A and B are shown apart, each in its own frame.
Chain A
Amino acid sequence: MARQISYQQAINEALRQEMERDPTVLVMGEDNAGGEGSPGERDAWGGVLGVTKGLYPQFPDRVLDTPISESGFIGAAIGAAAAGMRPVAELMFVDFMGVCFDQIFNQAAKFKYMFGGKAQTPVVIRTMVGAGLRAAGQHSQMLVNVFTHIPGLKVVCPATPYDAKGLLIQSIRDNDPVIFCEHKMLYGMQGDVPEESYAIPFGEANVVRDGKDVTIVTFGRMVHLCGEAAAELAKAGIQCEVIDLRTTSPLDEDTVLESVGKTGRVVVVDESNPRCSIAADISSLVAQKAFGDLKAPIEMVTAPHTPVPFADSLEDLYIPSPAKIQAAVQRIASYR
């Protein structure tokens, strides 16, 4: 039986294996090397949730601690990438990305284009996304769509430990800036992960369940909630095809359109706010390119257009649930 490790361990293993393979790979972020020198074993905290723990003792000169200044160290990582390194910067919560938009949008994303292809920026920015951890409005957002909007960035959001390892390895080897979105509710999830190194290509969606009646397009943590909904719907005789986009930029349009061509009915599930979201983007794609295949209106299941609430009961209502996904599927499954 294959070895099982957690999503968090899979990310750690990808970093370790790439650092072993390529001496230009370095890790930097708040508390990545912090805690070193404390009593006890010689190790650092490995970031706020310990994702990079264990790397510091093995690579003491390539695990860098940074001040609490995202605009500073993200800029440093981008500069190091332009100068030939492959930095993996940890920016604790995607919500804090706002203070370094210039570095990301105007610099990293533009270098290759504005310097006529003569510069490349192989930087990875790892960051936590998503709601569910009772961390309120400034630590819970799902901003995958914001980065997907910017040409020149690649945006990755793995749903499983297997994908987390393979997509992070691909991200590090990619010559463009990558925003690597780790869902904080998935860190403890266990799954089969090969010990050997492997890379999953970008722009290749994963069909996690076959079905002929309704297509569900989603990514990140929602893949699992959609899987739960699909299992319940199967008992009611509705066969859902569940597509995990894996990367929102580049986007695997073919897999989505092929599935909609088969089912004629589509629900897009995205835990972001609905306006200008991946859900809206996929809906427009289907409406433009598969209108003739559609047998029912496109459904979107998203968070409401509000900040993520702090009250537990409200946060639970905010996040798309399997029940809401089931209801959306049922609405269009019976649409004539």
Chain B
Amino acid sequence: MSDIHAVTVPKWGLSMDKGTVAVWHRQPGDRVHKGEDLLDVESDKIANVVECPADGILRRHVAAIGDVLPVGALLGVIADADVPDAKIDALVAEFQANFKPIEAAAGGGPQPELIQVAGKRVRYLALGEGADALLLIHGFGGDLNNWLFNQEPLAQGRTVYAIDLPGHGESDKRLETGGLDEYAACVKGFMDAVGLRAAHLVGHSMGAAVALRIAVDAPARVRSLTLVCPAGLGAEINIDYLRGFAAANSRNQLKPLLVQLFADQGLVNRQLIDDVLKYKRLEGVTEALNRTIAAQFEDGRQRTLLRDVVGVVPAQVIWGAEDRIIPPQQAEGLPAAVPVHRLAGAGHMTHMEAATEVNRLIASFIADIA
């Protein structure tokens, strides 16, 4: 059946157990190509595109708009034009007869864990097994769930850790200074605690500056750097966003800020805003964010630039062309050996908006180094 491809409900993040079909971008009979937008699916948390898994003709919409289906359920069928309808019908019948939804992750699948690092709680999620280790470091105001479109795909044959930085997610909210060195010390302490001598670091925004700081302080622990919309390469930053985010305490204050993170503002749905608001209400968060701003910025500009280490440690830069938080021009003038990927149609949350491409770039970069 190599010429017939099933399109199924994807799993975005640990908590997703079902998805709702929001819209089909292609109709039965359309010629489709691998990687094209095929349909939009919404989980409780987020809406995203399901890409076409192969070239061919979209032969069936098995799921209709509005259908709520478990992860792994059949959405549609792609096959070459010469595959008879009967064979497609047989595949659909067989799939539906054998399909069993995966048990909800409760108690079953991998869960985030807590570990003590220098007397403070750090939450992390480890997925996959393999000699190569990746460590994903989120940005200002984010948490490990920011990698929900990346961590599982990258964990095929590798161990991928995602952590909540101090002051973020479900990690301890106490920060001493909020400076990059404090964040970097925590990440290094985390690597010690889980027995990770060295890792490929993938950092987003402030998380990229944290990765750069580790590369400067402890280059032996960094096998490579993937810097996604990074801080630390230039002075300019959208300080109004950062200050506004730290100060916002209602949905109406947060929404105009969060839409600046995405090229496609439709991705900022109520659930996303609610999740951020719930984080912001936690005791100690506002203070942690304000400390971070005070430590890392002066007169609205980034204090610490760490360009010199880029390329000394193997590094690549991935930047959404429509980033409205940190200007993509800051990737200019890096050593020629450092690949810079400018992704069209993606904003500051490039690893969410262009997840498939970002995952591909990370996987191939790491493979080249190995």
Chain A residues packing against B (C-beta within 8 Å): 1-2, 162, 166, 194-201, 204, 207, 210, 235
Contact = CB atoms under 8 A, between A and B. Distances in A.
Given A1-B106, A162-B278, A204-B250, A196 B283 contact: yes
A168 to B, nearest CB: 13
Nearest to A254: B252
A199 B170 CA distance: 16
A84 B230 CA distance: 50
Given A1-B105, A196-B170, A207 B270 contact: yes
A194 B279 CA distance: 9
B330 interface: no
B282 A198 contact: yes
Contacts of A199: 281, 283
A216 to B, nearest CB: 15
A83 to B, nearest CB: 27
Contacts of B105: 1
Contacts of A201: 249-250
Contacts of B111: 1
A162 B105 CA distance: 21
Contacts of A2: 15
Interface string B264-300: 0000001000000010011110000000000000000
Contact of B281 (A198, A207, A210): A198
B173 interface: yes
9 contacts: A1-B106, A1-B111, A195-B170, A196-B170, A197-B282, A199-B283, A207-B251, A207-B270, A235-B66
B270 A210 contact: yes
B15 A196 contact: no
B14 interface: yes
B112 to A, nearest CB: 8
Interface in B169-206: 170, 173
Nearest to B274: A206
Q: Which 5 pairs across A and B sit closest by C-beta, in order of nearness?
A: A198-B281, A197-B283, A198-B282, A196-B282, A1-B15
B270 A198 contact: no
A74 B316 CA distance: 66
Nearest to A194: B282
A187 B170 CA distance: 26
B270 A194 contact: no
B281 A200 contact: yes
A207 B270 CA distance: 8
Contacts of A198: 278, 281-283
Most chain B CB atoms below 10 A, which of A195, A196, A204: A196
Contacts of B283: 196-199
A2 B281 CA distance: 16
A200 B250 CA distance: 10
A166 B173 CA distance: 18
Contacts of B14: 1
A332 to B, nearest CB: 23
A287 B111 CA distance: 50
Given A1-B14, A1-B106, A201-B250, 7 more contacts: A1-B15, A162-B278, A194-B170, A194-B282, A197-B282, A198-B278, A210-B270
A201 B66 CA distance: 35
A1 B173 CA distance: 19
